[in-house]
A and B are shown apart, each in its own frame.
Chain A
């Protein structure tokens, strides 16, 4: 018998493709439960202060209304900690803001009431009848005006080794004495995740102490943990189902006010309650990429060696939670600078809390760093790729450790060749096509190749299918498909014989999907549980056929409803017997990273090359080519991984050219409140994006050789476009997005 074709690396179609193209895939607001009620939130119309009165009488009297819940009548969950008691506590995976617990207003549109009715229309109408009066206080929503009050995050104060602490190698601010130096400020506005699925939850108290949530979350376990704690329940009494998640990009890493509101509402009306946010509410209460100011000082020698970098950052956070991200991480390790200083600060404003948005802080930081690299190359009159190569790091200059793997040079070459880098001119504005200026730019990205611990379970079913289960979610990257491929190769079964189930907190424990860590973490667990299952089945087979007792795992295979042994045609055990012997029990394993990683610095790397066309009269920017190249270790599925890279690049186009959430500081309220005001890339904004993978396994992250894709797909795209715009026009835009008004 021929060895089955390897599935790892094959461009397999998604296992859930049919569900998604037929409308059969059910998202969190699409479960039918008996006697469902609908909830609609009422938000504060002021930004800071106290609720002095709230009148719910008319809303309560409106047709179909079952309850109107405010801080005056909400049941108190026993495990809830008061909002903002200690903002420095790391709450970013739990719910930092507790709804209906007090009369304090901390940001505009903060939920002050939830209206529950028997139809959506009635709930929506009645929500408009709730009247509130406020004792207003003066609010602060402007980052620029509050930079002077920026502070070192508490975690950095407590722990000088925290990544958020000030970092130093060589001399402090040494760039200031450099012969050739630049100093520039870069600003990223608030950007909002805006997955196409609005944040939604269906909450169902199946018994007074048993809660089931159909929730848009990236982590079924984290959500379960959080709400079990809030309601003082054992974790196993809370079930979180998130089979399909309609995009998230980070905004479902947190528990949010609407989730608590729906759970409270379901408790009060004693019916399942469905709550879906409006697009407007998606701006105000479910996180965003924080508005961030950065400053870079850089010095270099005339032959293009960086001598010093200082990178400072101030990001906005809320008054009740210190949101910290790794804005300055890439600067510490990407280039060989003997002197390096970083300072990370936060400014607390009267806004909802931020949350990591795809590529998170690293994408923000890379905009500044990679723009500054381009600026310095221009000062030195050196090609920007050549300048990066002269400062390339063969080992991690931050931790003084070797890389577990690094194929970034290969990415440079592949991308440069594909975009036509040789056409690029050092002098900006040199290339044009009629009324369009043409320019080329590049931007580098990196993200830690993280691996955590995870469990997975596997079970042989009577029809010869292997059922695998994991609590992990699949928010779009194709986790279910990748895991099926890993299992198929490990078991030697065709993918059709594998059923991987995910997105349920009752399944084997797995981490939250985020930080590009899922294939790194859950992949090995799936591989190991498949090996354990094979071995378990071999053991069971050995009870009736001695040949299995001494057989090697790799000789065991599945064929024609039997477990068989290579080179022994009499060794056969039927699935039916094995299933009966197993007694319906699944095999579960836990997979953990080895200690070996400590010796290495483990990162994924990417470089993005952009060709842009800028109209000389209108300042319109068109991205005409975008090449994204990644060293992400082994690629499990070129089709889905390539799609993920393309998607990250589209996100980068949005970041570079259009995304900008604007608050009117007089009122502290967003004026961009829908997708007509807040622009995200549409079909016409995206070129046909080309992807290149080095596809070399990393020897240390895990046994599969993967490093992670999700974040590096976005990190470095925005500066590649900004640098291309400079190359096209000679105009350096340091404040995103690059809208036409900044170019004409």
Chain B
């Protein structure tokens, strides 16, 4: 006989969560956890309570828009964007930070949005592919990707473009070799690499503001 291995999941998690609620209320946060919550926990109504208190307030600026949100602490920035904010331009390709499809800008830096929890970004400014163009006017990098056919299926494209913009801004687009090195965190399984590099070089040499 064999069983599924679940070392980090306690045998009875519900029991455990109740214990945690009780302990945390007693030991650390009596003042923070409202009385009714503690009694609800003791009355085994904990799941409903958990649902309420597991929502963490979060302030974000996404594509220039200020948002006041409540999210579960285990929600990744990627899932928040895709599932809660319906900004599906940011793609999920691996959930492990290995493919770059989820690349967004956080305070101007490119990051893999799957690798951080949304709540870690309180007060920060997020730019996704949807926030790159100015109204109907495409960003020069978007224009260049269309012109050089820097994609096929289009799934890695938002991540490639967000990374490409950052690559130019960082000053890492000085040569074809440098671009290939600094774009290597963004996988394109269709293999449009030659065209992506051409698009980045075009933008870099075009001298437009990126």
Which residues of chain A have a CB within 8 Å of any CB of chain B? 13-14, 16-27, 29-30, 32, 45-46, 52, 58, 61-64, 119-121, 125, 128-136, 193-198, 244-249, 276, 278-279, 475-478, 639-640, 642-644, 646-651, 674-676, 680-684, 686-689
| Of A29, A32, A45, A639, the contact of B149 (CB 8 Å cutoff) | A639
Alpha-carbon distance between A125 and B75 when the two chains are bound, in angstroms: 12
Alpha-carbon distance between A476 and B87 when the two chains are bound, in angstroms: 22
| Of A14, A23, A248, A681, the contact of B191 (CB 8 Å cutoff) | A681
Report whether A121 and B2 are in contact in the complex, using a CB–CB cutoff of 8 Å.
no
Alpha-carbon distance between A121 and B84 when the two chains are bound, in angstroms: 12
Stretch at the interface among B18-26, B32-40, B93-101: B93-101
B192 adjacent to chain A (CB < 8 Å): yes
Within the complex, the shortest CB–CB distance from B14 to chain A, in Å, comes to 6
Report whether B176 and A688 are in contact in the complex, using a CB–CB cutoff of 8 Å.
yes
Q: Return the chain B residue nearest A681 by Cβ.
A: B191
Report whether A683 and B153 are in contact in the complex, using a CB–CB cutoff of 8 Å.
no
Within the complex, the shortest CB–CB distance from B207 to chain A, in Å, comes to 20
Report whether A674 and B98 are in contact in the complex, using a CB–CB cutoff of 8 Å.
yes
Question: Chain B contacts of A197 at CB under 8 A?
Answer: 91, 93, 153, 155
Within the complex, the shortest CB–CB distance from B75 to chain A, in Å, comes to 6
Which DSSP category, helix, strand, loop or mixed, fits chain B's interface? loop
Q: Kindly state the interface size class of chain B when it binds its partner.
A: 35 or more
B92 adjacent to chain A (CB < 8 Å): yes
Question: Chain B contacts of A26 at CB under 8 A?
Answer: 88
A247-B190, A675-B96, A683-B197 known; A136-B13 Cβ under 8 A: no
Within the complex, the shortest CB–CB distance from B61 to chain A, in Å, comes to 18
Question: Chain A contacts of B128 at CB under 8 A?
Answer: 23
Question: Chain A contacts of B94 at CB under 8 A?
Answer: 198, 279, 674-675
Question: Chain A contacts of B74 at CB under 8 A?
Answer: 121, 125
Report whether A23 and B88 are in contact in the complex, using a CB–CB cutoff of 8 Å.
yes
A16-B154, A196-B153, A644-B152 known; A247-B189 Cβ under 8 A: yes
Report whether B82 and A478 are in contact in the complex, using a CB–CB cutoff of 8 Å.
no
New contact pairs (13) apart from A18-B138, A279-B93, A686-B193, CB-CB < 8 Å: A18-B146, A20-B157, A21-B157, A21-B158, A27-B88, A46-B2, A195-B153, A196-B99, A196-B153, A196-B155, A196-B189, A639-B149, A674-B94
Alpha-carbon distance between A649 and B133 when the two chains are bound, in angstroms: 32
Alpha-carbon distance between A120 and B74 when the two chains are bound, in angstroms: 10
Report whether A676 and B96 are in contact in the complex, using a CB–CB cutoff of 8 Å.
yes
Report whether A63 and B101 are in contact in the complex, using a CB–CB cutoff of 8 Å.
no
Within the complex, the shortest CB–CB distance from A613 to chain B, in Å, comes to 14
Report whether A476 and B153 are in contact in the complex, using a CB–CB cutoff of 8 Å.
yes
B166 adjacent to chain A (CB < 8 Å): no
Q: Which of the listed residues A64, A119, A244 has the most CB atoms from chain B within 10 Å of its own CB?
A: A119
Mask of B177-189 contacts with A, CB within 8 angstroms, 1/0: 0011101111111
Report whether A45 and B2 are in contact in the complex, using a CB–CB cutoff of 8 Å.
yes
B68 adjacent to chain A (CB < 8 Å): no
A45-B2, A63-B47, A688-B197 known; A196-B188 Cβ under 8 A: yes
Report whether B184 and A21 are in contact in the complex, using a CB–CB cutoff of 8 Å.
no
Question: Chain B contacts of A247 at CB under 8 A?
Answer: 152-153, 155, 189-190
| Of B72, B86, B154, B183, the contact of A476 (CB 8 Å cutoff) | B154
Report whether A13 and B147 are in contact in the complex, using a CB–CB cutoff of 8 Å.
yes
A27-B155, A129-B13 known; A32-B188 Cβ under 8 A: no
| Of A19, A134, A196, A476, the contact of B1 (CB 8 Å cutoff) | A134
Alpha-carbon distance between A18 and B142 when the two chains are bound, in angstroms: 8
B109 adjacent to chain A (CB < 8 Å): no
| Of B12, B82, B189, the contact of A30 (CB 8 Å cutoff) | B82
B195 adjacent to chain A (CB < 8 Å): yes
| Of A13, A25, A125, the contact of B154 (CB 8 Å cutoff) | A25
| Of A61, A63, A276, A681, the contact of B92 (CB 8 Å cutoff) | A276
| Leading 6 A-B pairs by shortest Cβ distance | A23-B89, A650-B191, A246-B155, A20-B154, A647-B191, A476-B152
B129 adjacent to chain A (CB < 8 Å): yes
